[in-house]
Amino acid sequence: MALRGLVVYYFSITSTPWKPDMNADHARVAAAIRFIRDNLAKQPGLDEIAAHVGLSPHYFQRLFRRWAGLSPKRYLEYLTVEQAKPLLRQSFSVLAAGDELGLTSPARLHDQFVAVEASSPGEYKRNWRGVEIRYGLVPGPFGDMLLAQTRRGICLLSFVDDQTRARELDRLQRLYSLAVLREDSTAAQATANAVFTRRDAPARAIHLAVHGTNFQVSVWRALLRIPRGTVVSYGQLAEGVGRPAAVRAVANAVAANPVNYLIPCHRVLRADGGIGGYRAGPDIKQQLLDWEAPALPDFPDHDGRLPDRGPRES
Protein backbone atom coordinates (compact mmCIF):
# COMPACT_ATOMS: atom_id res chain seq x y z
CA MET A 1 0.00 0.00 0.00
CA ALA A 2 1.04 3.58 -0.45
CA LEU A 3 -0.42 7.00 -0.03
CA ARG A 4 -0.86 8.39 -3.51
CA GLY A 5 -2.11 11.59 -5.02
CA LEU A 6 -2.91 14.86 -3.34
CA VAL A 7 -3.12 15.05 0.43
CA VAL A 8 -4.61 18.36 1.55
CA TYR A 9 -3.45 19.74 4.88
CA TYR A 10 -5.35 22.91 5.58
CA PHE A 11 -2.45 24.39 7.52
CA SER A 12 0.23 22.79 5.38
CA ILE A 13 2.96 24.39 3.31
CA THR A 14 4.70 23.08 0.25
CA SER A 15 8.02 21.31 0.34
CA THR A 16 10.88 23.83 0.45
CA PRO A 17 14.54 23.86 1.48
CA TRP A 18 14.81 24.30 5.22
CA LYS A 19 17.64 26.86 5.42
CA PRO A 20 18.04 28.82 2.17
CA ASP A 21 20.93 31.25 1.79
CA MET A 22 20.33 34.95 2.30
CA ASN A 23 20.35 36.70 -1.07
CA ALA A 24 18.44 39.24 -3.15
CA ASP A 25 15.45 36.94 -3.61
CA HIS A 26 15.20 36.37 0.11
CA ALA A 27 15.38 40.13 0.68
CA ARG A 28 12.41 40.62 -1.67
CA VAL A 29 10.40 37.97 0.14
CA ALA A 30 11.28 39.49 3.51
CA ALA A 31 10.14 42.90 2.21
CA ALA A 32 6.89 41.35 0.97
CA ILE A 33 6.24 39.75 4.36
CA ARG A 34 6.78 43.09 6.09
CA PHE A 35 4.42 44.76 3.61
CA ILE A 36 1.71 42.14 4.19
CA ARG A 37 2.01 42.47 7.96
CA ASP A 38 1.99 46.28 7.87
CA ASN A 39 -1.06 46.37 5.57
CA LEU A 40 -3.03 43.43 6.94
CA ALA A 41 -6.16 45.51 7.55
CA LYS A 42 -6.23 46.48 3.85
CA GLN A 43 -6.01 42.82 2.75
CA PRO A 44 -3.63 43.59 -0.16
CA GLY A 45 -3.91 41.43 -3.27
CA LEU A 46 -1.18 39.62 -5.18
CA ASP A 47 -0.72 42.42 -7.72
CA GLU A 48 -0.25 45.04 -5.01
CA ILE A 49 2.25 42.98 -3.03
CA ALA A 50 4.23 42.08 -6.16
CA ALA A 51 4.36 45.73 -7.24
CA HIS A 52 5.71 46.72 -3.84
CA VAL A 53 8.79 44.52 -4.36
CA GLY A 54 9.13 45.36 -8.06
CA LEU A 55 8.20 41.98 -9.54
CA SER A 56 5.52 40.65 -11.85
CA PRO A 57 2.67 38.87 -10.04
CA HIS A 58 3.47 35.53 -11.71
CA TYR A 59 7.17 35.59 -10.86
CA PHE A 60 6.54 36.91 -7.36
CA GLN A 61 4.00 34.15 -6.63
CA ARG A 62 6.56 31.47 -7.55
CA LEU A 63 9.36 33.21 -5.65
CA PHE A 64 7.32 33.67 -2.49
CA ARG A 65 6.15 30.05 -2.50
CA ARG A 66 9.69 28.78 -3.01
CA TRP A 67 11.10 30.77 -0.11
CA ALA A 68 8.22 31.04 2.36
CA GLY A 69 6.76 27.60 1.64
CA LEU A 70 3.22 28.86 0.97
CA SER A 71 1.52 31.32 -1.33
CA PRO A 72 1.12 35.03 -0.46
CA LYS A 73 -2.63 34.44 -0.21
CA ARG A 74 -2.20 31.60 2.29
CA TYR A 75 0.23 33.68 4.34
CA LEU A 76 -2.26 36.54 4.42
CA GLU A 77 -4.99 34.12 5.49
CA TYR A 78 -2.78 32.76 8.26
CA LEU A 79 -2.11 36.25 9.64
CA THR A 80 -5.79 37.14 9.39
CA VAL A 81 -6.78 34.06 11.39
CA GLU A 82 -4.15 34.77 14.03
CA GLN A 83 -5.50 38.29 14.47
CA ALA A 84 -9.10 37.07 14.49
CA LYS A 85 -8.56 34.59 17.32
CA PRO A 86 -8.18 37.11 20.19
CA LEU A 87 -11.13 39.11 18.84
CA LEU A 88 -13.30 36.01 18.89
CA ARG A 89 -12.12 35.14 22.40
CA GLN A 90 -13.23 38.63 23.48
CA SER A 91 -16.75 37.67 22.32
CA PHE A 92 -16.78 39.77 19.15
CA SER A 93 -19.36 38.51 16.71
CA VAL A 94 -18.01 37.08 13.47
CA LEU A 95 -19.36 40.16 11.69
CA ALA A 96 -17.62 42.54 14.09
CA ALA A 97 -14.36 40.59 13.87
CA GLY A 98 -14.50 40.72 10.09
CA ASP A 99 -15.03 44.48 10.12
CA GLU A 100 -12.14 44.96 12.55
CA LEU A 101 -9.82 43.05 10.22
CA GLY A 102 -10.90 44.86 7.07
CA LEU A 103 -12.65 41.88 5.49
CA THR A 104 -15.50 42.49 3.06
CA SER A 105 -17.90 39.96 4.58
CA PRO A 106 -18.17 37.36 7.34
CA ALA A 107 -18.02 34.71 4.62
CA ARG A 108 -14.41 35.69 3.86
CA LEU A 109 -13.40 35.22 7.49
CA HIS A 110 -15.17 31.85 7.51
CA ASP A 111 -13.36 30.77 4.32
CA GLN A 112 -10.00 31.75 5.78
CA PHE A 113 -10.61 29.74 8.95
CA VAL A 114 -11.48 26.69 6.88
CA ALA A 115 -8.32 27.07 4.79
CA VAL A 116 -5.91 27.57 7.68
CA GLU A 117 -7.46 26.24 10.85
CA ALA A 118 -9.83 23.55 9.53
CA SER A 119 -12.51 24.88 11.87
CA SER A 120 -14.97 27.69 11.37
CA PRO A 121 -14.70 30.89 13.47
CA GLY A 122 -17.73 29.77 15.45
CA GLU A 123 -16.22 26.33 16.09
CA TYR A 124 -12.97 27.91 17.25
CA LYS A 125 -14.79 30.28 19.60
CA ARG A 126 -16.84 27.39 21.03
CA ASN A 127 -13.75 25.14 21.30
CA TRP A 128 -15.45 22.54 19.06
CA ARG A 129 -18.52 22.41 21.29
CA GLY A 130 -21.25 20.52 19.48
CA VAL A 131 -19.10 19.58 16.46
CA GLU A 132 -19.88 16.04 15.34
CA ILE A 133 -16.91 13.69 15.21
CA ARG A 134 -17.41 10.21 13.79
CA TYR A 135 -14.88 7.57 14.75
CA GLY A 136 -14.19 3.89 14.37
CA LEU A 137 -11.69 1.14 15.11
CA VAL A 138 -10.75 -0.37 11.76
CA PRO A 139 -8.10 -2.76 10.38
CA GLY A 140 -5.21 -1.49 8.29
CA PRO A 141 -1.90 -2.66 6.83
CA PHE A 142 -0.10 -2.10 10.16
CA GLY A 143 -2.77 -3.45 12.46
CA ASP A 144 -5.86 -1.80 13.88
CA MET A 145 -6.36 1.95 13.76
CA LEU A 146 -8.53 4.44 15.58
CA LEU A 147 -9.67 6.96 12.98
CA ALA A 148 -11.82 9.99 13.80
CA GLN A 149 -13.10 12.66 11.44
CA THR A 150 -15.30 15.73 11.28
CA ARG A 151 -17.11 16.83 8.14
CA ARG A 152 -13.92 18.79 7.33
CA GLY A 153 -11.51 15.88 7.55
CA ILE A 154 -9.49 13.50 9.71
CA CYS A 155 -8.81 14.81 13.21
CA LEU A 156 -7.15 11.73 14.71
CA LEU A 157 -5.42 8.62 13.37
CA SER A 158 -3.70 6.26 15.79
CA PHE A 159 -2.35 2.74 15.43
CA VAL A 160 -3.72 0.64 18.29
CA ASP A 161 -3.56 -2.84 19.78
CA ASP A 162 -5.24 -4.58 22.71
CA GLN A 163 -3.07 -2.68 25.21
CA THR A 164 -3.48 0.83 23.72
CA ARG A 165 -7.02 0.81 22.34
CA ALA A 166 -8.62 2.19 25.51
CA ARG A 167 -5.86 4.77 25.90
CA GLU A 168 -6.39 6.16 22.41
CA LEU A 169 -10.16 6.27 22.81
CA ASP A 170 -9.61 8.23 26.01
CA ARG A 171 -7.26 10.57 24.15
CA LEU A 172 -9.93 11.25 21.53
CA GLN A 173 -12.43 12.10 24.25
CA ARG A 174 -9.93 14.41 26.00
CA LEU A 175 -8.89 16.24 22.82
CA TYR A 176 -12.49 16.87 21.80
CA SER A 177 -14.30 16.80 25.13
CA LEU A 178 -16.93 19.31 23.99
CA ALA A 179 -17.60 17.66 20.63
CA VAL A 180 -20.31 15.10 19.89
CA LEU A 181 -18.59 11.74 19.37
CA ARG A 182 -20.43 9.13 17.33
CA GLU A 183 -19.10 5.68 16.49
CA ASP A 184 -19.20 5.03 12.74
CA SER A 185 -16.87 2.23 11.70
CA THR A 186 -18.22 2.17 8.15
CA ALA A 187 -17.19 5.77 7.49
CA ALA A 188 -13.87 5.22 9.26
CA GLN A 189 -13.10 2.18 7.11
CA ALA A 190 -13.91 4.06 3.91
CA THR A 191 -11.50 6.82 4.89
CA ALA A 192 -8.82 4.34 5.94
CA ASN A 193 -9.11 2.67 2.53
CA ALA A 194 -8.57 6.06 0.88
CA VAL A 195 -5.49 6.73 3.02
CA PHE A 196 -3.84 3.37 2.40
CA THR A 197 -4.40 2.70 -1.29
CA ARG A 198 -2.41 1.11 -4.07
CA ARG A 199 0.04 3.19 -6.06
CA ASP A 200 -1.98 2.75 -9.26
CA ALA A 201 -5.27 3.83 -7.66
CA PRO A 202 -6.89 7.10 -8.83
CA ALA A 203 -5.75 10.13 -6.87
CA ARG A 204 -8.10 11.27 -4.10
CA ALA A 205 -7.96 14.28 -1.83
CA ILE A 206 -7.59 13.45 1.86
CA HIS A 207 -8.40 16.31 4.20
CA LEU A 208 -7.15 16.80 7.74
CA ALA A 209 -9.03 18.77 10.38
CA VAL A 210 -6.24 19.25 12.91
CA HIS A 211 -4.95 22.28 14.74
CA GLY A 212 -2.67 22.98 17.67
CA THR A 213 -0.58 25.71 19.21
CA ASN A 214 1.47 27.89 16.88
CA PHE A 215 4.61 26.02 17.92
CA GLN A 216 3.06 22.59 17.41
CA VAL A 217 1.81 23.57 13.96
CA SER A 218 5.27 24.83 12.99
CA VAL A 219 6.74 21.46 13.94
CA TRP A 220 4.03 19.55 12.08
CA ARG A 221 4.66 21.68 8.99
CA ALA A 222 8.33 20.78 9.19
CA LEU A 223 7.41 17.11 9.43
CA LEU A 224 5.42 17.43 6.22
CA ARG A 225 8.58 18.60 4.45
CA ILE A 226 10.55 15.43 5.25
CA PRO A 227 10.43 13.40 2.03
CA ARG A 228 9.25 9.81 2.01
CA GLY A 229 12.20 7.48 2.54
CA THR A 230 14.14 10.17 4.47
CA VAL A 231 14.74 10.59 8.20
CA VAL A 232 15.99 13.44 10.39
CA SER A 233 17.05 13.74 14.01
CA TYR A 234 15.11 15.69 16.61
CA GLY A 235 17.97 18.19 16.62
CA GLN A 236 17.75 18.66 12.86
CA LEU A 237 14.01 19.12 13.12
CA ALA A 238 14.51 21.76 15.81
CA GLU A 239 16.93 23.59 13.51
CA GLY A 240 14.40 23.31 10.70
CA VAL A 241 11.80 25.24 12.71
CA GLY A 242 14.34 27.84 13.80
CA ARG A 243 14.55 26.62 17.42
CA PRO A 244 17.83 24.68 17.64
CA ALA A 245 17.96 24.92 21.44
CA ALA A 246 14.41 23.64 21.88
CA VAL A 247 14.95 19.98 21.04
CA ARG A 248 12.86 18.74 23.97
CA ALA A 249 9.98 21.07 23.11
CA VAL A 250 10.15 19.94 19.48
CA ALA A 251 10.07 16.30 20.60
CA ASN A 252 6.98 17.04 22.70
CA ALA A 253 5.28 18.64 19.68
CA VAL A 254 6.14 15.56 17.60
CA ALA A 255 4.61 13.36 20.30
CA ALA A 256 1.45 15.50 20.29
CA ASN A 257 0.82 14.85 16.58
CA PRO A 258 -2.78 13.59 16.44
CA VAL A 259 -2.64 12.09 12.93
CA ASN A 260 0.00 9.38 12.69
CA TYR A 261 1.43 8.48 9.29
CA LEU A 262 -0.18 11.38 7.38
CA ILE A 263 1.83 13.84 9.48
CA PRO A 264 4.98 11.67 9.36
CA CYS A 265 6.44 11.90 12.85
CA HIS A 266 7.81 8.38 12.32
CA ARG A 267 10.56 9.93 10.14
CA VAL A 268 12.29 11.47 13.19
CA LEU A 269 15.05 9.45 14.90
CA ARG A 270 17.42 9.97 17.80
CA ALA A 271 20.72 11.71 17.12
CA ASP A 272 22.57 8.38 17.43
CA GLY A 273 20.36 6.82 14.77
CA GLY A 274 18.24 4.92 17.28
CA ILE A 275 14.59 4.41 16.45
CA GLY A 276 13.43 6.64 19.29
CA GLY A 277 9.93 6.87 20.67
CA TYR A 278 6.65 6.45 18.83
CA ARG A 279 3.14 6.50 20.22
CA ALA A 280 2.28 3.16 18.61
CA GLY A 281 5.59 1.62 19.66
CA PRO A 282 9.01 1.16 18.03
CA ASP A 283 7.95 -1.88 16.01
CA ILE A 284 5.27 0.03 14.09
CA LYS A 285 7.67 2.93 13.60
CA GLN A 286 10.29 0.60 12.11
CA GLN A 287 7.69 -1.03 9.85
CA LEU A 288 6.63 2.37 8.52
CA LEU A 289 10.24 3.35 7.82
CA ASP A 290 11.01 0.05 6.12
CA TRP A 291 7.82 0.23 4.08
CA GLU A 292 8.69 3.72 2.83
CA ALA A 293 12.08 2.59 1.56
CA PRO A 294 11.90 2.61 -2.25
CA ALA A 295 12.84 -1.07 -2.75
CA LEU A 296 9.80 -2.41 -0.91
CA PRO A 297 6.76 -3.77 -2.76
CA ASP A 298 3.33 -2.20 -2.59
CA PHE A 299 1.76 -3.98 0.38
CA PRO A 300 2.87 -5.58 3.65
CA ASP A 301 1.83 -9.17 4.21
CA HIS A 302 -1.67 -9.73 5.57
CA ASP A 303 -0.31 -10.35 9.05
CA GLY A 304 1.29 -6.89 9.09
CA ARG A 305 4.85 -8.09 8.54
CA LEU A 306 6.81 -6.58 5.70
CA PRO A 307 8.01 -8.95 2.97
CA ASP A 308 11.66 -9.94 3.04
CA ARG A 309 13.73 -7.92 0.58
CA GLY A 310 16.21 -10.73 0.15
CA PRO A 311 19.98 -10.16 0.21
CA ARG A 312 21.10 -6.54 0.45
CA GLU A 313 24.06 -5.12 -1.36
CA SER A 314 26.85 -4.00 0.89
Contact 207, 8 (CB under 8 A): yes
Could you confirm whether 265 is annotated as catalytic? yes
Contact 66, 26 (CB under 8 A): no
Neighbours of 29 (CB within 10 A): 20
Q: Whose CA is closest to 87, among 75, 72, 104, 102?
A: 102
Distance CA 139, CA 193 (A): 10
Contact 107, 2 (CB under 8 A): no
Laid out side by side, the sheet with 180-183 consists of 7-9, 206-208, 153-160, 143-150, 132-140, 180-183
- Find all residues with CB under 8 Å of 145, minimum gap 6, and list them: 137, 138, 139, 157, 158, 159, 160, 192
Contact 234, 251 (CB under 8 A): yes
- Catalytic residue from among 68, 172, 265, 280: 265
Q: Which residues are catalytic?
A: 265
